[in-house]
Amino acid sequence: MIIQKIEESKFTPEVFNIKVFGKAFTDHMLLCHYKDGKWNVPVIKPYGKLEFTPAVSVAHYGQGIFEGMKAYKGPDGEAYLFRPEENFERFNKSAVRMDMPQIPEEIFMDGIRTLVDIDRQWIPDKYGMSLYIRPVMFGTEEAISAKSSDEFLFSIVMAVAPNYYNKPLSLKIADKFSRAANGGTGFAKAAGNYGASFYPARVAREEGYDQVIWTDDATHTLIEEAGTMNVIIRIGDKLLTAPVSERILNGVTRKSILQLAEDAGIEVEVRPITVKEVYEAHKSGELKEVIGVGTAVVVNNYAAVGYGEEKLSLPELPAEDCFGSILKKKLVDLQMGISEDPYGWRQLVEHPIEA
Ligand code: COI
């Protein structure tokens, strides 16, 4: 790995007061080019612009994938990652589906560890804040024929992560648009999955909602994801979530929250969830929580769900009775090293790293 450090850091502690997610980038980024069937030596250099012509393949055909993960500052002042191997594995699954090369583990993992080590002062030491890490890969060949790119760029950038949302959100259950279909790219973190969700989200906003609850594309009768997150529904005292599938992302936060819930004695059922049962549970007063779970947002309890013309409000539960709040605290406490980690999910970023 080649490391070219910035001459003077841009860091100031005020950066931790930022309210917007993913805008305050750290001093360095990692770049690694793929050409002639092999990966070049990765380079860490000052964060900055890249140069491409408008013929760059990704701009035309959207061959791009990414991951979302975070670094946390522990009470010992050290930097920690959370289950990074899960992101590494998923990145390469996404690469297969998008006909992109596999990224070697040492480039992905050593790249993240070295970058986090070098920019560790950018990890906030405030509870609930962290440093968001965004590995990304896209086709960089200068070519307009519709085919897989012959050249790719793998990059890692990092930005300070405050709360993603600052208000309770409401979601419209999709009855027309779809995020994913069988045989498609729903399980992958393909850039186009997100790009294609922005228009349905805009339509939902025009109808008075903030985001969309994605349903299955064939019948719009099954609840699958929420916005850019997995979704967990509380009916009575049971948590329900759909099984991961070709259409549903295998979220790291989803699987961590389910594990924490089970270990806290909360009943969890992983099975297809129908829109009808959610609607009926609301009518009978049993629909307690609709919870979005994802790396960027962590855990978000929604305020209301739109079903057709009806807006179903969710009860405002006290924190001690709200599974979303209870599980969020358990997860964030573990991620930040405030509580024990019996699962081995936290990984110390050694300091200093030999390059
Ligand atoms: C994440 O939660 O990390 C995501 O990938 C969502 C992102 C689009 C903000």
Span 37-85, pLDDT tens digits: 999 999 999 999 999 999 999 999 999 999 999 999 999 999 999 999 9
**Residue whose token pair is 């994605």:** 214
Q: At what angle do helices 252-263 and 323-335 cross, to 10 degrees?
A: 110
Q: With cut-offs at 50, 70 and 90, classify the pLDDT of residue 354.
A: low
- The candidate with the shortest Cα–Cα distance to 61, out of 135, 149, 152, is 149
The mean pLDDT value for 205-222 works out to 97
CA 227–ligand 1 middle distance (angstroms): 10
Name the β-bridge partners of 71: 81, 131
CA of 8 to the centre of ligand 1 (A): 30
Q: Is 292 in the pocket of ligand 1 (CB under 6 A)?
A: no
Taking the C-alpha atoms of residue 8 and residue 232, their distance in angstroms, rounded to an integer, is: 45
130 lines ligand 1 (CB under 6 A): no
pLDDT value at position 85? 98
Q: For residue 164, what pLDDT band results from cuts at 50, 70 and 90?
A: confident
What is the pTM assigned to this prediction?
Answer: 0.96
Residues 6+ away with beta carbon under 8 Å from 316: none
Region of poorest pLDDT, from 159-163, 182-186, 263-267, 312-316? 159-163
> What pLDDT score does 251 carry?
98
Ligand 1 site, residue 227, Cβ cutoff 6 A? no
**CATH code for the domain defined by 2-163:** 3.30.470.10
Q: Distance between CA 21 and CA 121 in Å, rounded?
A: 18
Which atom of ligand 1 lies closest to the CA of 228? 6
**pLDDT tens digit sequence for 255-305:** 999 999 999 999 999 999 999 999 999 999 999 999 999 999 999 999 999
Helix (H, G, I), strand (E, B), or coil: what is residue 294? strand
Ligand 1 centroid, distance to 96 Cα (angstroms): 20
Mean pLDDT in residue range 330-338: 97
Domain boundaries, the chain: 2-163, 170-316
How far apart (Å, rounded) are the C-alpha atoms in residues 42 and 34?
Answer: 10
The closest residue, in CA terms, to atom 8 on ligand 1 is 228
Q: Rounded to whole angstroms, how far apart are CA atoms 245 and 266?
A: 24
Contact between 303 and 168 under an 8 Å Cβ cutoff? The reply is: yes
Percentage of the chain modeled with pLDDT above 90: 95
Ligand 1: distance of its center to the CA of 107 in Å? Answer: 22
Q: Is the CB of 295 under 6 A from ligand 1?
A: yes
**What does the pLDDT average to over 198-214?**
97
Q: Specify the CATH number of the domain 170-316.
A: 3.20.10.10
Q: For residue 341, is pLDDT > 60?
A: yes
pLDDT at 294: 96
Look at the alpha carbons of 331, 334, 338, 340 in this order and tell me if their dihedral is positive or negative. positive
Radius of gyration (C-alpha) of the chain in whole angstroms: 21
- Per-residue pLDDT at 282: 97
Tokens representing residue 29 in the block: 């980024």
pLDDT score, position 353: 53
Tell me: cis bond preceding 162? Omega within 30 of 0 counts.
no
CA of 168 to the centre of ligand 1 (A): 18
| Residue 230 CB–ligand 1 contact under 6 Å | no
Specify the amino acid at residue 302. Answer: Y
Given a cut of 70, whether residue 34 has pLDDT beyond it is yes
- Residue 354's SS3 state is coil
What atom of ligand 1 comes closest to residue 21's alpha carbon?
Answer: 9
